[in-house]
Amino acid sequence: MGGAKADEKELRRLLREAGVGPTLIAKLESAGLLSPRGLKFIVAATPDELVEWLSLSSYESAVKLREAAKSIVGYQSAAVDAAQLMELEERLPKLTTGVKGIDELLQGGLRPGELYEFAGEFGTGKTQLCHQLAVTVQLPEEKGGMAGKAVYIDTEGTFSPHRILAMAERFGLGRSALSAVTVYRPLNTGELERFVREELSGYLEDGAKLVVIDSVIALYRAQYRGMEWLARRQQAINYLLDWLKRWARIYSAVAVITNQVLTHPLPSGVALKLPAGGNIIAHASTHRFLMRKAGDAWLIECIDSPRIPKGASVQFKITEAGVEDA
């Protein structure tokens, strides 16, 4: 309690030093933003959003407020050269999937600040892989984890604590692995969007290093039916993923979404299987993977990535203990 008050006092001082006036500081206070989390919210927001939400007098004052918040929370968005970038990237931990083959496909694991999409038909292992990541993220860095917690947004009602427990045992974690996974089950897209924009950062502030949305598309497909809703639906998905990516960058967390696959019949008679959600999800995802089941084996293939060759793939299997090397 005393600590929070002292923090608040210190933040006031820092804000004043950074040129934020007393009226605006009072506004931040009444909006509940005078905290480290609140300042990160200001960093995550665009100036236009700040003008609207805080009834600011001008775009410029919103820009100034964001700059002040950035300097206080130490968020760097200045330009760096490629050598510096390489050094920065090498220092970042990479999250292991717990599967050697998939880690190699991912060039060492999943990187914080990036958005990974796993698309596939039913039963192709998307949910199993997400469960496994919610466990491996808890491992210490020397074991390929991020010593972090997980937030699992379960839109399809398929999250299973039993699967977490089974996987946790395999990785040498006990029952405590369960309490490090926060599960949220939104009933509609409004709840999903509100959670990601307004609640998620609370968990990230509290040490979550992985955010899963399994799946990103189900609620949108159920709610926005028909062509006349398509533009609105795409805009809403875009906004959701944009917030997810902002938080992943600000908190150095790994973001993962799963996606369904749609079949597009071609005149030739061949059916093309593509992830749902069109260009919006395609562009938002840093890396896209297609998962398939072929007989008794599963396959994961890269379909788009700035680093991983398109078409690169690896087999895996799913057992009682989780996702494993084939």
Ligand X SMILES: Nc1ncnc2c1ncn2[C@@H]1O[C@H](COP(=O)(O)OP(=O)(O)OP(=O)(O)O)[C@@H](O)[C@H]1O
Contact 4, 35 (CB under 8 A): yes
Buried b / exposed e across 297-310, counting CB within 10 Å, b at 16+? ebbbbbbbbeebee
Kindly tell me which residue out of 23, 78, 83, 122 binds ligand X, with binding defined by CB under 6 A.
122
228 near ligand X (CB under 6 A): no
CA separation, residue 112 to residues 36, 61, 133, 286, 315 (Å):
20, 31, 13, 11, 24
Closest CA to 186 of 159, 163, 162, 204: 159
Asked if residue 98 binds ligand X (CB under 6 A), the reply is no
Q: Which pair of tokens denotes residue 86? A: 């390489």
Q: Find the part of the chain contacting ligand X (CB under 6 A) among 7-15, 39-47, 301-309, 312-320.
A: 312-320
Nearer to ligand X, 126 or 233 (CB): 126
Task: Determine the Cα–Cα distance for residues 146 and 105; give it in Å rounded to an integer.
Answer: 19
Binding segment for ligand X (CB under 6 A), chosen from 3-11, 98-106, 108-116, 118-126, is: 118-126
Longest dimension (CA), the chain: 70
Cβ burial, residue 146 (10 Å; 0-12/13-18/19+): buried
User: For ligand X, what does the binding mask look like between residues 139 and 158, x meaning CB under 6 A?
Assistant: -----------------x-x
Output the DSSP codes for 147-179.
S-EEEEEESSS---HHHHHHHHHHTT--THHHH
Both tokens of 241, joined, read 């993923």
Q: Is there binding between residue 249 and ligand X (CB under 6 A)? A: no
126 contacts ligand X (rule: CB under 6 A): yes
One character per residue 134-163, x = contact with Mg ion (rule: CB under 5 A): ------------------------x-----
Give min distance, CB of 215 to Mg ion, in A: 7
Number of other CB atoms surrounding residue 13 within 10 Å: 10
Among 127, 155, 201, 285, binds Mg ion (CB under 5 A): 127
Nearer to ligand X, 8 or 156 (CB): 156
Judged by CB under 6 A, which stretch of 60-68, 73-81, 226-234, 318-326 contacts ligand X? 318-326
Residue 50 CB, nearest distance to ligand X (Å)? 38
Q: How far is the CB of 210 from ligand X (least distance, A)?
A: 16
Per CB under 6 A, 252 contacts ligand X? no
CA dihedral 217→223→224→226, nearest 10 degrees, is 110
Beta carbons within 10 angstroms of residue 79's beta carbon: 7
What is the contact mask toward ligand X in residues 181 to 220, using x (rule: CB under 6 A)? ----------------------------------------
Binding site for ligand X (CB under 6 A): 120, 122-128, 156, 158, 318-320
Binding site for Mg ion (CB under 5 A): 126-127, 158
